[in-house]
Chains A and B, each alone.
Chain A
Amino acid sequence: MRRSPLLWISSALVFAFLYIPLIVVVVFSFNNSKLNAEWVGFTFGWYYVLFNDAAMIQAALNSLIIAFVAATLATVLGTMAGIAMHRYRSRFLPFMTLTPLAMPEILLGVSLLIFFISVFGENALSLLTVIIAHTTFCIGFVAIVVRARLSGMDESIFEAARDLGATPWKTFRLVTFPMILPAVIAGALMSFTLSIDDFVITFFTAGAGVPTLPLTIYTMIKISVTPEVNALSTLMMLLTLFLIIVATRVAPDVLQKKQMVNDEAENRA
């Protein structure tokens, strides 16, 4: 079948629009100049600056800790929620779990901020509050991936395990969990990437003492955009890309889920 050249051109334009800014960022991270304006020469210098920037290393550490802990918590809770949504078929549970995903981030950020301050006091904001906040919006994501995986499965497999002598716990450990494992891993990796690049919610819940990478980048570009930011962005891009590739390998249907979440939330509204 012949495709119209117009189709080729329009898709090329869309991809250019999506990827040229990213490519520019990557290219200029190797630019031997303090400015992003023009190409001067090739250097690894900005990566050297980046790795010797104590504040930046601290921020990276914070981000990694938050992403790791939040992703772990969200994976455990989200898996449980996903199984519950599948098993109990309630209309209420998915609504409760998935609403935070469809809610504007700024709303979630503000409400969490007010909640933390009114419950834990003025100085409540810390690494912990960021972790709690990130866990909150990752749970729904894990839950929906796990539920999607379960809903495609033959229910009698789980009954067969019980029937053949497995207690409910053993059924979960030996049959259900191994079968949903790809979805669990995918959910964990996606939670990690969502957490590590989150800005809005982190901005409201982190307070002054806990800079994360996105917050630090934001502070830096208010002063001036040096190629150090490009170097950092390039590294974050690589990490995210790596995790997304791994996630899509273990559960190929994962990338469609974000859309599903939004559709579902709209249908309920």
Chain B
Amino acid sequence: MALLEIRNVSRRFDDFVAVDHVDFSVNAGEFFTLLGPSGCGKTTLLRMIAGFDQPDEGAIVLDGIDLKDTPPEKRPVHTVFQSYALFPHMTVEQNIAFPLKMARQSEDEIRVKVKNALSQVALNDRAARYPHELSGGQRQRVALARGLVNRPRLLLLDEPLGALDAKLREQMQIELIALQRDIGVTFVFVTHSQAEALALSHRIAVMNHGRIEQLDEPDRLYGAPKNRFVADFIGNVNMHEATGQSGGATLTLLLGKLGQITAPARPGLAVGDAGVFVIRPEQVSIRAASEASPDPNQFVGTVNGFLYIGDVTTYVVDLPDGARLEALLPNSAPGRAKFFELGDPVRVSWKAEAGAFLTS
């Protein structure tokens, strides 16, 4: 049975619809992520699960019980806030002991649990410090320990890594995955960072304008986006206006002036349907224009620019119709990091089964 059910929940603020008929469920032990740009309603949804806000419509059900009349302090749900929200007048130890004290556990029990929680986040030597004496990463860990120490049914995390620098964020992501796996508490994680969502989650709900655009596992979201928004929001993608020509085992598309290409089949497509063809940069092969390619879809263009990242280089190629296409090339060949120069004529190509045609 699902641990948490969001049943057709809506929330309006005056004229603004923050959450619009959202419906999904989270399984026990899952790392579930709400992903979307700012203002998409993900934080409002989180606040309703925590009990700081009430849905105008629909129900939030935990363990089969509607939480409508349960105030935040009675919900077996704890939150890790974006700002960490540590109590500034309490030591690390007292912060972590707070939820246990509120649950009226015995002194002995509290001492043992706080000690365990401290070692879980490797902060034993900071127990007597105050939050302002800690680094950002340490505060983050205290907030996590405080949220988990009383083993809530559900831990909500509101962009908890947003305030950390890139290196520390990656380290915390790894710690977070390990912690969730070891403790087995269900996580509902809110973020606007698609990379973070892909790296951490079992399942992701991509939200936009208060609605869920797609709910799927990370590789499905990346590999088979349902619509333009998801394709564009998750990772990098090339998009080109296209019209359906003929269906069947494979799909023939007309890419405007570029001509026809072959794309993966899509059921329910009518000839003449307009949409976009999307393809990831790493699915596009790039070679010198003079070299032949076995791929059915190929065009010749010129290199307009490139981004050298280190492990890979992204080449921006101008196509004959003025459109731009990004192609990604790994720099794994020894001693070579740059294959093409600006202005070089190149051949870009991709396989018939690569990319997707999206009509919404």
Q: Is the CB of B87 within 8 A of A165?
A: no
Q: For chain A residues 159-174, which have a beta carbon within 8 Å of chain B?
A: 159-167, 170, 174
A223–B283 CA distance with the chains assembled, in angstroms: 102
Partner of B87, one of A162, A163, A167, A175: A175
Could you say which residues of chain A place their CB within 8 Å of the CB of B102?
Answer: 164-166, 170
Q: Which residues of B contact A166 (CB under 8 A)?
A: 73, 98, 102
List of A residues within 8 angstroms of B103 by Cβ: 165
Q: Which residues of A contact B52 (CB under 8 A)?
A: 159, 162-163
Minimum CB–CB distance for A164 against chain B, Å: 4
Contact across chains for A157 and B85 when beta carbons are under 8 A apart: yes
Contacting residue for A160 out of B51, B71, B79, B89, CB 8 A: B79
Grouping DSSP codes into helix (H, G, I), strand (E, B) and loop, the B interface class, with mixed when no group exceeds half, is loop
Q: Does B88 contact A (CB under 8 A)?
A: yes
Once the chains bind, are B73 and A162 in contact (CB under 8 Å)? yes
Q: Are B81 and A160 in contact (CB under 8 A)?
A: yes
Given the interface pairs A178-B89, A179-B88, the reply to whether A161 lies near B81 with Cβ below 8 Å is no
Is A123 in contact with chain B by the CB < 8 A criterion? Answer: no
Query: A118 near B: Cβ within 8 Å?
Result: no
Complexed CA–CA distance, A170 and B98 (Å): 11
Q: Are A167 and B73 in contact (CB under 8 A)?
A: yes
Chain B residues within 8 Å of A179, by CB: 88-89
Q: Which residues of A contact B83 (CB under 8 A)?
A: 154, 156
A164 to B86, CA, bound (A): 11
B141 in the interface, Cβ–Cβ < 8 Å? no
B interface residue count range (under 10 / 10 to 19 / 20 to 34 / 35 or more) = 20 to 34
Separation of A163 and B51 alpha carbons in the complex (Å) = 8
Q: How far is the CB of A235 from chain B (nearest CB, A)?
A: 36
**Which one, A156, A165, A170, A178, contacts B150 given CB within 8 A?**
A165
Instruction: Judge whether B78 and A163 touch: CB under 8 Å.
Output: yes
- The size class of the interface chain A forms with chain B is 10 to 19
Do most interface residues of chain A lie in helix, strand or loop, or is the interface mixed?
Answer: helix
B74 (CB) vs chain A CBs: closest residue: A165
User: For A170, what are the chain B residues with a Cβ–Cβ distance below 8 Å?
Assistant: 102
Set of chain B residues within 8 Å of A162, measured between Cβ atoms? 51-52, 71-73
Quick check: A159 and B85 within 8 Å, CB to CB? Answer: yes
State in angstroms the CA–CA spacing of A161 and B102 once bound together.
Answer: 9
What B residues does A167 contact at CB under 8 A? 73
Instruction: Mark interface residues in B70-107 (1 if CB within 8 Å of A CB, else 0).
Output: 01110001110111011111000000001100110000
Q: Which residues of A contact B72 (CB under 8 A)?
A: 159, 162-163
Q: Give Cα A162–Cα B72 distance, bound, in whole angstroms.
A: 6
> How many A-B pairs fall under 8 Å by CB?
60
Cβ proximity bits A93-116 to B, threshold 8 Å, 1 near / 0 not: 000000000000000000000000
B residues 228-287 with Cβ under 8 Å of A? none
Is B146 part of the binding interface, using a Cβ–Cβ cutoff of 8 Å?
yes
Chain A: minimal CB distance from B221 (Å): 29
Contact B81 A156 (CB under 8 A): yes
Cα separation A175 to B82 with both chains bound (whole Å): 19
Contact B99 A165 (CB under 8 A): yes
> Which residue of chain B has the shortest Cβ distance to A167 in the bound complex?
B73
Residue of A whose beta carbon sits closest to that of B80: A160
The answer on a CB contact under 8 Å between B73 and A165 is yes
Give complex CA distance A183, B143 in Å: 27
Complexed CA–CA distance, A166 and B75 (Å) = 11
Chain A residue with minimal CB distance to B104? A165
Which of chain B's residues 37-90 have a Cβ closer than 8 Å to chain A? 50-52, 71-73, 77-79, 81-83, 85-89
Nearest chain A CB to B70 CB, angstrom units = 12
- Chain B residues with Cβ below 8 Å from A174 are 98
Residue interface bits A134-171, CB-to-B below 8 A is 1, else 0: 00000000000000000000101101111111110010
A179 closest partner in B (C-beta): B89
> B51: which A residues are within 8 A, CB to CB?
162-163
What separation, in Å, do the CA atoms of A35 and B138 have in the docked complex? 69
- A229 → chain B closest CB, angstroms: 45
Alpha-carbon distance between A64 and B79 when the two chains are bound, in angstroms: 48
B156 — nearest CB in chain A belongs to which residue?
Answer: A163
When the two chains form their complex, are residues B98 and A161 in contact, meaning their CB atoms are under 8 A apart? yes
A109–B202 Cα gap in the complex (Å)?
70
Q: How far is the CB of B196 from chain A (nearest CB, A)?
A: 20
- Interfacial residues of chain A within 175-213, with CB under 8 A of chain B in the complex: 175, 178-179
Q: Tell me whether A163 and B98 are in contact (CB under 8 A).
A: no
Minimum CB distance partner of A181 in chain B? B89
Residues of the B chain whose Cβ atoms lie less than 8 Å from the Cβ of A175 = 87
Contact partners of B85 in chain A: CB under 8 A: 154, 156-157, 159-160
In angstroms, Cα B78 to Cα A1, docked, is: 55
Bound together, the chains give a CA A170 to CA B147 distance in angstroms of: 18
- Separation of A167 and B70 alpha carbons in the complex (Å): 12
Q: Which of B140-157 contact A (CB under 8 A)?
A: 146-147, 150
Which of chain B's residues have a CB closer than 8 A to the CB of A154?
83, 85
The winner among B52, B99, B102, B103 for most chain A CB atoms within 10 A is: B102
In order of increasing CB-CB distance, the 8 nearest A-B pairs are A165-B102, A160-B85, A164-B99, A156-B85, A162-B72, A156-B81, A157-B85, A163-B79
**CB-defined A-B contacts under 8 Å, sample of 19:** A157-B85, A157-B87, A159-B52, A159-B72, A159-B81, A159-B85, A160-B85, A160-B87, A162-B71, A162-B73, A163-B52, A163-B73, A164-B73, A164-B102, A164-B146, A165-B103, A166-B73, A166-B98, A179-B88
Given contacts A160-B86, A163-B52, 11 further A-B contacts (CB under 8 A): A156-B82, A159-B81, A160-B79, A160-B85, A160-B87, A162-B72, A163-B77, A164-B73, A164-B150, A165-B73, A178-B89
Interface residues in chain A, defined as those with a beta carbon under 8 Å from any beta carbon in chain B: 154, 156-157, 159-167, 170, 174-175, 178-179
Which residues of B come within 8 Å of A, CB atoms? 50-52, 71-73, 77-79, 81-83, 85-89, 98-99, 102-103, 146-147, 150
